[in-house]
Structure 1
Amino acid sequence: MWHRLLRPRRVGRAIYRALSAFGMLHTGPHPEAEPLAGPAPGHPERLCADVPLTPLERRLVRELGVG
């Protein structure tokens, strides 16, 4: 029964992914990884160009010096 639960490939893969994630905390992402470019198209956090900013959003942009 235990040999079915502890399959070597599955355990090895889980250990590899855990160690990779731990290593990224110290070294950064893999060199082959694509750089992040913001939210994907259609994502709810992406701003619409045809919708003006609210007064609160304009104030935040002014305070943060963005855009």
Structure 2
Amino acid sequence: MSFKYKDEIFNSLSLIRELVKDYNACPECGSKGIGSNTKLGSMDYNGKLGTFERTCRCGWKVKIKVEKI
């Protein structure tokens, strides 16, 4: 599978690496802990879209949809 993110094309593994690089640390508090545990976020695929979600204990969250190509 290939996905378009930031006007570039990534395979599944490369996309996860890029998203983790972009969202590893919370931009609000700097925490690298995700939600109430240490997961690096979640990536779900549904048809033509992939959805990446990342939350933080401080309440910050991001949900990004990436197009499957």
TM-score (norm 1): 0.26
Q: Which has the larger strand fraction?
A: 2
Higher relative contact order (CA 8 A, sep 6+): 2
**TM-score, length of structure 2 as denominator length:** 0.26
Specify which structure has the higher proportion of helix: 1
